[in-house]
Structure 1
Amino acid sequence: DEAAYLRQLALEKFKPSIFSGIFSSGGSGAPKWLNSLIEDADGRSLIYDLSFRHQNCLLLTFAVQKILMQPGRDEEVASQGVDLSSYFGVFHRILMVRLRAIASTNDTERLKELSRLIQHGAFSNVTGYLHVRQVLTQLEAVSQPWSCRFKRLREDLEMASKDGIACKMSRFFSPPDDASFAASTLIADILATASGGHVAPSSDVIKLYRQYKSRGSGCIPSVKLLHHPMMVKVLL
């Protein structure tokens, strides 16, 4: 229909460069038609799609911020795949809503969907991952019936990392003198190489082997660091 055609036309023809100077000194400011888009459900959907395609566009960032100022829009924005890591307050609020839902629901499919959404937010950038990981670590330490769910979620988050970010960031959750501290950095480098389709350097694999082999009992790195599916393939 006509609306769908206009939407597709906007997606194809939109050029962020046209709006690059609208908020600078002497700029025209936000266009008047932006408010109309924000008030309309289809208009907001178009803004979300454009934001996903043009993540550095100042106008679209401004539009998303205006949408987030409207009560009840947090979850709508998050559900559209918009990167909320730049809006930390919103990112945290939505994370808390989803974690409360995980603690209270018994619907298996709902739990899977919530886990997927949390992982999506966590892997938006390093800051998002660290925050989600820290919150999950604290929740799983609480003596409550639902604590095991957050432990599983944290483990799933680590396994879902495709470029070694989980191993690289694990150093922030280990004492500097812990054996896992050095191993996590090495494993992260190996996973980063493997995720790019390259063969991990044999020298790194040998170094890793020595870290697990040469240390005395009780001083070896955590074996959990080796549980990543991609790491298993590398070692095999």
Structure 2
Amino acid sequence: MALSETDMNTAMDGIENQEQIREECRQRLCAQDSIMEPNVADIIAAFIQYKGQPSSAVAWLSESYEGVAEMCNIASEWATSMNFDPQDIMQNSLKALLVQNFDAQQVDSEFMSSQSAPSWLNNMIEDSFWRQAIYELSEIHNKCSFLKFAIQKISDAGYQQEMAKVSTASTFLNVFNGVLYDFLKAMITKDDIDVDRLLPEFKRACLQNEHKYVYAQVLLSRLTEVSGGSSYQRIQYELERNAAKQFKSPFVDIFGTIINKAPQQLVDAKTAIMQGENPTPGDVIQIYKLYTQQRVPSLKFLRDAGFIDKLIQTAFLPSQSGVAVKPEIKERVIHLLAIAAAATEDSNGSLELSDVPPVTQSLKRLDTVLAKKSTGADLETAVGDLLMLLDHPMVALAVVHWLDSLLADTTYYETYFRTTDIPLPHLLLEEIASRHPMLQKRVFQVLKKNVEMNIKVLGPEIMMALRRTLLDRMIYLVQLGYAIPILEYIRDTGDKLDESLIIHSVQRVLEMADEPYSQEFVSVMVDIVDPISDNLDKSMDVKTVIWQFFNTVLKNSENFDQDTLEKIRLIQRKG
């Protein structure tokens, strides 16, 4: 019986469908390393079912095999043998491919039309490496809706603090709120050392544009007005100082005036003093009048750290222009410093000044003592007077400024440094650091500046002795508890210091350190020791101290992360 036209068409369609399926199977079997695909058996079965030749399937599988997976395994073994982490290499390679080939438009089209997020997104969010990949992609493709959605999901999962660097994170107000909340909550419970380490990330988050800066400053301003909120003033000041450098416009000053509700006369006078080399008598008198009248501005405007530094430089340091400050102006500057240091403010804005006169007198006596020793000559005769005056933090801060200026003049070291003696300015800095923990950072800054000096007149051997003396002063700060910033400095400048100085510092620190060791301390010590480990055999007593430290850490391995422990084992294997 002849087939009808309909039956003929159906048969032809069936043949065409078979050919189409075989072609699809052929393409899949010819793809690179198709034999490694998890569904390759199903593809082969479909090809044979639709009249494909098994021999053809075998040929295509053989020809398409390049062994990429096996090559990855071999590369992984090589990496392991060279002490590289193969997982890190693989992940970084995948991330590089992802960044290179990411198509934001196609991704949005594929995933944003769905009613629910893809299941794999949650797995990526739980992994810190892939969160970083999402952050990197969001910086490049800042208009991608899917990446914005992923950023929101990361915030909801509680990772606000690590999102501070991501500019697209603040696209969502609640995400930026979370970032601010986490930082401020952490800062209020930390000491000065930890706050200094948190501030760079906080400033980076808030200074990505003017909108974020305004929002953060309004929030900080409100926080300073509540009970116990004075600790936020420092954060507010640091943010404003960096914003002035970054945005380079009158915007920061104008906004600061509005948000802080400062009298315009005070703002104008402060701005002129901060921007000028030497304060003019008119500006000093204007601020003095404002703070000695019946209703005074808030003390927070006077307690600006940068402004305090400027007033101290005016009162106690030689003028760079050579023009001496008039006595009546210096007296007013000293009185303003005493008010900033000792006055208290009640809820009505009135000042309690009973503690101000003793500080004023101490600052005046300090001025008398320092005026006679402007070159550092015969400093020994002034030490007794200085030690009696150092009890008040404002006086001690002024002495730190003066010593910084004295030591910055390299003629002091050229004239007075002896390798057998500790310089008197160094001993005074140690005394200040001991009496006033809040000034340890300022003392460290002075020591750091001196370590980095290069006084050619002294010669290499004398310079090394001077640096050794300065590092010993830093190690005294470690003994006082200011440890991590000092150790991080030694780690970060190790390539600029003579190796013998590093070894000496490591030995001193480890001999004074007691258990239990913190993860942070161990980690930074390992980083310091690693570059010098090849030469420890030249100083066996130091090597013994280091090995004892390492063995103690390994014995208490549950307290430390695996990366740090592996670095220790690697150093010991090399040694």
Asked whether the two chains share a fold, i.e. TM above 0.5, the reply is: yes
Aligned residue in 2 for 1:85 = 170
Code of the residue aligned with 1:96 in structure 2: it is: Y
Per-residue CA deviations over 1:40-69 (Å, capped at 9, x if unaligned) read: 433222111111222222121111122223
Aligned residue in 1 for 2:146 = 59
Aligned residue in 1 for 2:21 = none
Per the alignment, do residues 98 and 141 of structure 1 end up closer, same or farther by CA in structure 2, a change over 3 Å counting? same
- Greater RCO (Cα-Cα under 8 Å, separation 6 or more): 1
**Offset, 1:37:** 2.9
**Offset, 1:77:** 3.1
1:95 alignment partner, one of 174, 180, 186: 180
Code of the residue aligned with 1:46 in structure 2: it is: A
State yes or no: 1:74 paired with 2:156: no
Report 1:191-202 matches (<5 A). none
**Distance between the aligned counterparts of 1:131 and 1:31, measured in 2?**
31
Code of the residue aligned with 1:135 in structure 2: it is: L
1:4 alignment partner, one of 92, 96, 105: 92
Per the alignment, do residues 154 and 69 of structure 1 end up closer, same or farther by CA in structure 2, a change over 3 Å counting? closer
State yes or no: 1:14 paired with 2:14: no
SS in 1 for 2:170: coil
CA RMSD of aligned residues (A): 4.1
Q: Would the aligned equivalents of 1:22 and 1:29 in 2 still touch at CA under 8 Å?
A: no
State yes or no: 1:167 paired with 2:253: yes
* Structure ranking higher in helix proportion: 2
Aligned residue in 1 for 2:136 = 49
| Count of equivalent residues | 191
1:114 alignment partner, one of 198, 210, 217: 198
**Bigger Cα displacement from structure 2, 134-143 vs 5-14:** 134-143
1:154 alignment partner, one of 236, 255, 264: 236
Per-residue CA deviations over 1:77-109 (Å, capped at 9, x if unaligned) read: 33x535432222232233223223222212x33
Aligned residue in 2 for 1:207 = none
Q: Would the aligned equivalents of 2:155 and 2:178 in 1 still touch at CA under 8 Å?
A: no
Code of the residue aligned with 2:173 in structure 1: it is: F
Code of the residue aligned with 2:242 in structure 1: it is: A
Aligned residue in 1 for 2:210 = 126
Q: Would the aligned equivalents of 2:124 and 2:130 in 1 still touch at CA under 8 Å?
A: yes
Per-residue CA deviations over 1:124-170 (Å, capped at 9, x if unaligned) read: 333321221122223333453xx443212111111101113422433
**Offset, 1:34:** 5.0
Per the alignment, do residues 92 and 157 of structure 1 end up closer, same or farther by CA in structure 2, a change over 3 Å counting? same
**Distance between the aligned counterparts of 1:31 and 1:5, measured in 2?**
26
Code of the residue aligned with 1:61 in structure 2: it is: K
Structure 1, unaligned runs of 5 or more: 184-211, 228-236
> What TM-score, normalized to structure 1?
0.61
Per the alignment, do residues 120 and 74 of structure 1 end up closer, same or farther by CA in structure 2, a change over 3 Å counting? same
**Offset, 1:33:** 7.0
> What TM-score, normalized to structure 2?
0.28
**Distance between the aligned counterparts of 1:149 and 1:174, measured in 2?**
16
Report 1:33-44 matches (<5 A). 34-35=120-121, 36-44=123-131
**Distance between the aligned counterparts of 2:125 and 2:186, measured in 1?**
28
Per-residue CA deviations over 1:155-207 (Å, capped at 9, x if unaligned) read: 111110111342243354266x95689x8xxxxxxxxxxxxxxxxxxxxxxxx
**Distance between the aligned counterparts of 2:227 and 2:155, measured in 1?**
35
Aligned residue in 2 for 1:206 = none
The percentage of aligned residue pairs carrying the same residue is 22
Q: Would the aligned equivalents of 1:22 and 1:30 in 2 still touch at CA under 8 Å?
A: no
Per the alignment, do residues 20 and 39 of structure 1 end up closer, same or farther by CA in structure 2, a change over 3 Å counting? same
Code of the residue aligned with 1:111 in structure 2: it is: V
Per the alignment, do residues 167 and 15 of structure 1 end up closer, same or farther by CA in structure 2, a change over 3 Å counting? farther
SS in 2 for 1:124: coil
Code of the residue aligned with 2:240 in structure 1: it is: E
**Distance between the aligned counterparts of 2:93 and 2:185, measured in 1?**
40
Per the alignment, do residues 4 and 172 of structure 1 end up closer, same or farther by CA in structure 2, a change over 3 Å counting? same
SS in 2 for 1:139: helix
**Offset, 1:23:** 6.7
**Offset, 1:21:** 4.0
Per the alignment, do residues 174 and 180 of structure 1 end up closer, same or farther by CA in structure 2, a change over 3 Å counting? farther
**Distance between the aligned counterparts of 1:171 and 1:20, measured in 2?**
44
SS in 2 for 1:56: coil
Code of the residue aligned with 1:52 in structure 2: it is: E
**Distance between the aligned counterparts of 1:30 and 1:49, measured in 2?**
24
**Distance between the aligned counterparts of 1:168 and 1:86, measured in 2?**
25
